[in-house]
Structure 1
């Protein structure tokens, strides 16, 4: 028998260090983009077989039956007065679908504003808008996740002053400039800009873009992370399927106080599974993000798919309970409802929000 040298233990694998946060890009910067963003897709778009199946199944594939619509009167709708929100307060109000009024760092920000009663290709709203347009405060900025009609609504945007700063995905600026908006900032994934001391980071999503017959993936899609000067942080996911991006967002943007995640428009899964999270996947995304709280969206407003209208919330509650998550961290707001997070000190000197 011969002696052998002991094998040295393998060095511990160090966690990857996320790249430093990029410097904010100038507001209103005019940039040139590639003709297509199809290389950013995380799953292929539906092919001929899927389209043929959709044609065969017809309305049953994209609309619930009468049983699935009977709970429309039970959908949560509770409009109330907007909360006071000073420069040190973070407040959110759900106007419906993916439209939120965010009060952060003294700014009033709209996400994917859709105040129209109906949008192209869908039946009218099944719940009214949660906030009357005339009750909104002056809007300091608008963020857009992508160009689908239920997120980019021209009639609503015409109501805004053309000087309103709009922050949009790469390739979508031309649409706004054509409509005479004078402060349009386009960002690629992982880029940022600042307005009034609030930082706006554009982050990836598992989705796609299309508005006409000839512009598939000609503009980008994504979500937003808004960070106020005191450290309060909100993630708006836009429209997205489930996948690896959520963990990377958490690595680059730790300490998310609230994530706004979609839970509806998910059935049938063979058609929508790659681009829309179902309720169980939304809970996994919340956990991947390491967020303190979650507020669901993208349901209870438009009938876009075949699941029963009340099912997203029922399944969300069940998935939340199965995961053993604290119930008070799920902010399942009614359309029109608001929540306020008051700032409290952190050990590191920052002051993120905490529930009021």
Structure 2
């Protein structure tokens, strides 16, 4: 690898090779300690809200649904069941709630953005329980983190894991884990990948941002993950994202995604959230851009993060899906605690 290509891989920008760093490129070493820039603000695809937007939000106060929007909480889908039996040829997804999934891929058990806490900072308590009891989890082989917002990076949940658990994290977030004594942390830039037990973990872009304290805005990267098993079965976990050009590029670089886990909630008011959270119709459009075979909605029915009525995300995504004319069975609208699987 040339020095220029090495710099390109670390920056995540396209290399001189057509298409840039490809999924089949050399995986980064697990647990590699790397130096990162002090800010990833140049990766933003929209400006962050300024003083005027903050003042408008404070003036309008439209950050939670009113009583009418909350009245259907009892109707939210919650149907926990046992984790499906799998082998090394099975790709299975189980929705624990919000952006937390239990993925079974290539014989590994992988958690995405695990949040098993009842409450997170600045947010009312969960409106549905966690769909998978912690004590019912098999040994966790790896964790993937999309970004550092509190509803995706939950310290109390991660504290439950053995410190030797492999963690795949965005660039710049490794220090957070190492300070908590995690010993196998792999940080990746966009379009980089690493391998664990034959399963490929590729970090891909998202239309979002990062912040956890008053002084760390965009100090770490944000994105989604594409996991591919040795048979080529593939699941895409979007994390948090607005709609934009990255979906087509992800689909181009990762053709044949079997299931896309896409966010459909926390989108209202649109003037405030459209740049960083897809609404239901945009989530379906993103699915089509990806060229994926199946879509599983997430990021709704768990925490009240914004102003839309609690059942509106799934109602709108079902309507948007019907308008596409696609087979109903390709929309995996799981209840919290529900599972679906593909057998290789």
Q: How far does residue 106 in structure 1 lie from its aligned partner after superposition? A: 0.4
Q: Tell me, in whole angstroms, the C-alpha distance in 1 between the residues paired with 2:69 and 2:118.
A: 21
* Counterpart secondary structure, 1:118: coil
**Matching residue within 17, 31, 46 for 1:43:** 46
Match of 2:34 in 1: 31
Indicate the residue corresponding to 2:11 in structure 1: none
Mapping of residues 108-187 of structure 1, within 5 Å: 108-187=109-188
Render the CA deviation track for 1:63-107: whole Å, top value 9, x for unaligned. 000000000000000000111111111111000000000000000
Q: Determine helix, strand or coil for the equivalent of 1:341.
A: strand
Matched residues in 2 for 1:110 and 1:342: separation? 20
- Structure 2 distance, partners of 1:251, 1:340, is 24
Within a 5 Å distance, the mapping from 1:177-256 to structure 2 comes to: 177-256=178-257
**Structure 1: how far apart are the matches of 2:104 and 2:58?**
43
Q: In 2, distance between residues paired with 1:340 and 1:296?
A: 15
Give the CA deviation at 1:17: 5.9
Residue 201 of structure 1 aligns to a residue whose secondary structure is strand
Partners of 1:250 and 1:339 lie apart in 2 by: 22
Corresponding residue number in structure 1 for 2:7: none
The alignment's TM-score, normalised by the length of structure 2, stands at 0.94
Runs (4+) off by over 6 Å? none
Secondary structure in 1 matching 2:96 = strand
Q: Aligned partners of 2:322 and 2:27: how far apart in 1?
A: 40
Q: Is the 8 A contact 1:258 1:295 kept in 2?
A: yes
Give ranges in structure 2 of 5+ residues lacking alignment: 1-16
Please state how far the C-alpha of 1:18 moved relative to its aligned partner.
Answer: 3.2
Q: Secondary structure at the match of 2:69?
A: helix
Deviations 1:218-263 (A, max 9, x none): 0000000000000100000000000000000011000000000000
Bigger CA drift: 319-328 or 255-264? 319-328
Moved more, 153-162 or 49-58: 49-58
CA distance in 2, matches of 1:65, 1:55: 16
State the partner residue of 1:283. 284
Q: TM-score, normalised by structure 1?
A: 0.91
Over alpha carbons, which structure has the higher Rg?
1
In the alignment, the residues of structure 1 paired with residue 34 and residue 109 of structure 2 have an alpha-carbon distance, to the nearest angstrom, of 26
Q: Any idea what SS the aligned residue of 1:260 has?
A: strand
Query: Does the 8 A contact of 1:18 with 1:251 survive in 2?
Result: no
Q: Secondary structure at the match of 1:281?
A: helix
**How far apart, in 2, do the equivalents of 1:164 and 1:291 lie?**
30
**TM superposition shift of 1:326:** 1.2
